[in-house]
Amino acid sequence: MNLLAARATRSPIGLDLGTRAIKAAQGVRGRHGFRVTASVSLARLDTGPALSARDAERLGPALVRAGFRGRTLAAALPSELTLHANIDLPARGSKAPLDEIAASELARASRAGAADLVCAHWPIATAPAGEACPSRAVGAELTRIQALLDSLEQVKPGAGPLVPLALDTGPWALVRCLAPWLGEHEDVTVIADVGWRRCALTIVHGRRIIYDRLAPGIGLEPLREAIARDLAASPEAVDRLLQRLEDGSAPDVAGEIARAAVRRQGGQLAQEVERSLRFAAEMGARGAYRLILVGGGASAAMAEAVTPPLEGLAEVRRATPADLVGCPAGWPAAPRREAAEDAASGSDPAQPTRHGVAGHPGADPGLLCAIGLAMRMDR
């Protein structure tokens, strides 16, 4: 018997730099799978793909208070930095320099300099022996990656700075976390990451990403603006209404107006999903279709709104951490959050507060990317 095999292995800190918030998660992998041990959500003071000095200074102590351990880090490459394209590469048995060709093709598609690109690629379809292989290439300019890594090294949770272990992409982190829900080899899953300003769609064939793109106009900000316009209400009042809509306690008239706005977004999202599924079918996918909603805007109301337009075409599921990984019984009633508005209002930023439409972190779809990053155990 190997006693070491039963010992839980602590994950790196998974860090997701969102438009409005920084989300982090950490866990352990043991005999019963992956279990989250710490999570935090920190409202950003400064936006941008890199972490500002002000946000880095706040993040270190926030990690310590939330119970994170160690300094190794797996971070997501922000979408603003990411370049991607579908390309054709020579057959893998051709002895061609595939990495160099992929970087050159990605540079051509994105109008960047090939010499300054860090690139990864993978096949997205099976090609006959000796023929070019359809592939997906993803990368970023080295100078911009280095600026991001330098900004992350400003974070000091304790004795020293964070040590970047891996730089991943948000879509691959989500695929890692959602793996139990991705079905069979021929199935197609559209992962809709509903964020603040936009929705990022990732099309997955089996467990392989074949495409990802943005769906503009679908997100919490446009939804909030639409409801504020319909009700002549302040953004703060709309936030409270959305929370009550999720809790099932929204007033009848205002609640119906909010639900109508959510249904409009759900209809938009359904159209985008149908386009993505048609693309997958053109790529030769023949399995079952499904849509998985994640991200801070993936409310139960949105899942309810997008289901009828996709009935008979795709199964719709809304993912939360509690659905996919172990959640400790002592997980607080809401994720820790330190926000600029907390300081402005005089409230204690170290006290747990409700976050977005989710509340309890085990029910927060916005944490899934950070959890998927933490699941990178390749130290």
CATH number for 171: 3.30.420.40
- Please tell me the predicted confidence (pLDDT) of residue 8: 63
Q: Is the pTM of this model over 0.75?
A: yes
Handedness of CA 373, 374, 378, 379 (dihedral sign): positive
- Within a domain: 271: yes
For the stretch 209-239, pLDDT in tens is: 999 999 989 999 999 999 999 999 999 999 9
The span from the CA of 372 to the CA of 174, in Å, is 6
- pLDDT beneath 70, residues of the chain: 1-8, 328-360, 378-379
235 and 118 part of one domain: no
- Within a domain: 19: yes
- Please tell me the predicted confidence (pLDDT) of residue 131: 85
For the stretch 18-72, pLDDT in tens is: 989 999 999 998 888 899 999 999 999 999 999 999 999 999 999 999 999 999 9
- Within a domain: 379: no
Mention every residue, 6+ apart, whose C-beta is less than 8 A from residue 37: 10, 26, 27, 28, 67, 328
- Please tell me the predicted confidence (pLDDT) of residue 33: 86
277 and 136 part of one domain: no
Residue 35 near residue 322 (C-beta atoms within 8 A):
no
Residue range of the domain that includes 345: 3-80+144-177+323-374
- Within a domain: 61: yes
DSSP-derived pairing of the beta strands 289-294 and 315-318: parallel
How far, CA to CA in Å, does 177 sit from each of 207, 240, 255, 367?
Answer: 11, 30, 33, 10
310 and 348 part of one domain: no
314 and 368 part of one domain: no
198 and 273 part of one domain: yes
- Please tell me the predicted confidence (pLDDT) of residue 141: 93
186 and 240 part of one domain: yes
